[in-house]
Each structure stands twice: as structure tokens, then as C-alpha cells.
Amino acid sequence: YVYGTPGKGAGQYAHPAMMTVLLYVEREWQTGDHRKFGIGNISLAGGKVFEPHDSHQDGLQVDVRPLRIDGNHVPVKYFQSGYDKAATTRLISIFQSHPMIKKVFFNDSSLPGVRPMTSHDDHFHVELKITTK
């Protein structure tokens, strides 16, 4: 499912490489879990500055919500009771298994391979290795 700002998908313009990664992750995820995961901010059309982000201008970064135990499509912070740590760990590991993944930022530092980043308690941020220049 999609979420994010501004509404109606205006912040979800993705580089073709990001679309490839998202489709790969979605297919891998569906082999073991029926719940949908939330895709948030990617980029604005034309690479405009996307406040409050320092990135998200080239379609090579995506924000993704952690999974909830109840499967609802609303935010959950990693330290709240509705957070599904096991499922989120699996989802992040699927992202990390793709060769184009550069970094994953998320404030649940108990998960393997993630780095903390300010304001990343209720979503993780994935960056690809490729450049557009």
C-alpha cells in the first residue's frame, strides 16, 4: 500500500531501478506473508526539493513503514506494542538481499545492518547504490 506526503502519490515518483527493487521485494515478501507493506515518500516529479528531506530528489530513496502485528495500514514506532519486529526484520532483510541496496536507516538498532537516523522511528529509509549523474 502507499502512504506519504503530499497526498495522492505526488511524492512517489521512482527511478526505474527503484521500481525494480520494489517489485522484487514485493514478490519475495508475498512468498511468506499476506500483509501489505507501506511505501511512502520516494521523490517529487522533476526532482524538486522534497521538504523536510535532504534526499528523495532522484527517485533512488524510499521510505517504508515497519510492519504492525495487527496488519493495519497506519504508522507504528519501533518501541510501541503494535510493532512486529520479526516481520520488519524479514522485510528489511529482503531489501538488503538485493544487490542495488546501499543503506538502510531505521532507529531500531537491534536489527541487523540498519543505521540510526533522526526521525526514523516509524519508518525505514532505503537508498540504492546507483547514481543518476
pLDDT of residue 132: 61
Residue 6's pLDDT band, with cuts at 50, 70 and 90, is: confident
pLDDT of residue 52: 74
Which residues make Cβ contacts (< 8 Å) with residue 122, sequence separation at least 6? 65, 66, 75, 76, 77, 78
Residue 84 has pLDDT above 70, yes or no: yes
Average pLDDT over residues 26-33: 96
pTM above 0.75, yes or no: yes
pLDDT of residue 104: 98
> How far, in Å, are 3, 32, 55, 69, 121 from residue 41 at the CA level?
8, 25, 10, 23, 15
Distance, CA of 58 to CA of 121 (rounded, Å):
23
